[in-house]
Structure 1
Amino acid sequence: MHTPRTPAAIAVAAALLALTGCSSVTSEPKPDDKVVSSPSAAATTADPDAARAAAGLPPEPKGAQRQAFLDGLNAIDRDIVHGKDDKAISRGIDTCGMIKDHPKDLTKQVEQTNKRWTSPTHPEGHGLTKAAQILAVTHTTVCPTY
């Protein structure tokens, strides 16, 4: 008796063949192989602030600095942070990187801030006016030397 093959069965078989063909064989290191490790690479992996510094970003704000940043954002609009403090901190550090990359282009900084700072109720950003306020709070509290 002959069993008809369905397109789905053929697709599954083809996918399985493709997956088995993708496996890779790794070889054990040879005694002559040298592993190069730098102290700075190990430090940046273990210390997020060191990694940020190596990337030219400010350290994560802590204590009063962190609170001032979050309070400043919430004073603009509570929906900016929307209960996600750590996410706001991450976005603030990211915004500092953008400020550093475009130090003399305020228009671009505001546009990028608007794109970066979204929320569930503002998926396209909070508008350029609030973006400028977010940028100012971030600049003065998280990375004032930029």
Structure 2
Amino acid sequence: MRTRTTAALITAGLLALTACTDDDTAAKPSAPPSLTAEQRASALAAAGLPQTTPEQEAAFVAALDAIDTDIAHGKADKAASRGRSQCQTIHENPDDTAKQIEFAGKRFTSPTHPEGRTPDIAKKINSAAHEHLCPDF
């Protein structure tokens, strides 16, 4: 979380410096500068978030559906986003499987499971995220 906050503050600072100029005729950027693919990948990795492909995300959602279709409950994009967040938990707590499972249980709620998932299901979700979205963590 600190890394993501730091990255956001650095980006905001750079944008503020870009906007400050003594020359009123200078063109002001209308949008923040784009990151290169390498910069984006580096920023994501530093924050513990994997850069995933649509194929990886589809495989992850399929793995969730194989566990229980209610986990993704028809919202593949939301499930993939939660999976990337789970990867961040794995990255930040590589030696604490209990914490990883705890977060997976709390993170993957649904209308029929607003309280989250059982430890057994959460363990399977954690494994699916690790296998399909962030195998390098």
TM-score normalised to the size of structure 2? 0.70
Gaps of 5+ in 2: 1-19, 24-32
What's the counterpart of residue 23 of structure 1? none
| Pairing 1:127-146 to 2, within 5 Å after superposition | 127-146=118-137
Q: Indicate if the aligned counterparts of 1:76 and 1:130 stay in contact, CA closer than 8 A.
A: yes
Structure 1 unaligned regions, length at least 5: 1-28, 33-40
* Aligned counterpart, 2:45: 53
> Does the aligned pair in 1 maintain the 2:61–2:72 contact within 8 Å?
yes
Structure 1 partner of 2:35: 43
Aligned to 1:108: 99
Partner in structure 1 of residue 82 of structure 2? 91
Deviation at 1:55, TM superposition (A): 2.3
Asked if the contact 1:58–1:143 (Cα under 8 Å) also holds between the matched residues in 2, the reply is: yes
Q: TM (normalized to structure 1)? A: 0.66
Superposition deviation, residue 30 in structure 1: 6.5
Within the candidate set 62, 77, 81, 2:72 is matched to: 81
Q: Deviations over 1:61-86 (max 9, x none)?
A: 322x2221111000000000000000
CA deviations over 1:44-101 (Å, ceiling 9, x no partner): 7xx86565235231113322x2221111000000000000000001000000000000
In the alignment of these two chains, the number of paired residues is 110
The 4+ residue runs of structure 1 with deviation greater than 4 A are 47-51
